[in-house]
Amino acid sequence: MADLATLLGRTFTPDQEQQAQALLDQASSVVRAYVRQDITRATTTDTFTMRRADPVLHRCAGVVTLPQRPVVEIDAVLVNDVATQDWWQDGNDLVLRSAAWDRPPAANRPPQVTVTYTHGYDPVPGDIKAIVLQAANRVIVNPSGIRSETVGGISTTYLIPAVGEYLGVLLSRTEQKVLDRYRRTAASVNLRSR
């Protein structure tokens, strides 16, 4: 909020603060959705289906790719609800040395791995922060989304999102290019049969 007020060069009234906070929240949500990341430092517990790894290359039972980046610390790992220390971290991958993959009752399905890990940025990188501020600023400065205006003949042109121009707190193509380095490009789907 203070950074947005500084950017605009003014002090917000209480009503303007509420509007500005709502716009900052919307812009943050749009950025998070685009990069498919939480961005801010947090701790998450989630369950994943272990996938097989190349036994010659990895010499392990399997791998789980943790979706939130960067992975700061792995706090706990459970394989089929049993705690284990038999793993190592390789970037965003959790590599498990051994697991009951080929023995009953897991013979018919891959092991389920529950991981508690800390991820994200503290502080948030400056370029992400700048994009959130700019997206909120655009709406405050130009709430109607007017691109051009002629007063004498009353001609108004609005921004068109189909050609890549912003509307509201949506991201421009340039902002998307900046955010691409933080973007998670692949995701896994956990399918379980009951």
Reported as a single tens digit per residue, the pLDDT across 23-76 is 999 999 999 999 999 999 999 999 999 988 766 656 788 899 999 999 999 999
pLDDT of residue 84: 94
- Residue 69's alpha-carbon distances to 42, 57, 73, 130, 154, in angstroms, are 10, 24, 11, 20, 50
Same-domain status, 128 and 32:
yes
- Residue spans of the chain under pLDDT 70: 54-58, 99-108, 143-151, 153-168, 186-194
Same-domain status, 22 and 81:
no
Classify residue 188: in a domain, yes or no. Answer: no
Tokens of 41: 């430092």
pLDDT of residue 97: 85
Detail the DSSP E strand segments found in the chain.
42-49, 62-65, 71-79, 82-83, 87-90, 93-96, 112-119, 146-150, 155-158
Angle between helices 126-141 and 14-35 (to 10 degrees): 130
Domain that holds residue 60: 42-119
Classify residue 192: in a domain, yes or no. Answer: no
Same-domain status, 48 and 60:
yes
pLDDT of residue 9: 93
Same-domain status, 107 and 169:
no
* Structural domain count of the chain: 2
Same-domain status, 101 and 66:
yes
Tell me which of 68, 102, 119 is where a domain ends. 119
Classify residue 80: in a domain, yes or no. Answer: yes
Same-domain status, 20 and 114:
no
Classify residue 55: in a domain, yes or no. Answer: yes
* Beta carbons of 136 and 20 less than 8 angstroms apart: yes
Which phi and psi angles does 86 have, rounded to 5°? -90, 65
pLDDT of residue 193: 43
* Beta carbons of 49 and 93 less than 8 angstroms apart: no
Same-domain status, 166 and 137:
yes
The residue behind tokens 């956990």 is 190
Same-domain status, 6 and 59:
no
Same-domain status, 68 and 97:
yes
Residues in the chain: 194
Same-domain status, 101 and 129:
no
Report how far residue 16's alpha carbon sits from residue 136's, in angstroms, rounded to the nearest whole number. 12
Edge-to-edge strands, sheet with 93-96: 62-65, 93-96, 87-90
Same-domain status, 129 and 175:
yes
Classify residue 154: in a domain, yes or no. Answer: no
Classify residue 131: in a domain, yes or no. Answer: yes
Same-domain status, 78 and 110:
yes
Tell me which of 119, 138, 173 is where a domain ends. 119
Classify residue 156: in a domain, yes or no. Answer: no
The residue behind tokens 């189909």 is 162
pLDDT of residue 172: 87
Classify residue 101: in a domain, yes or no. Answer: yes
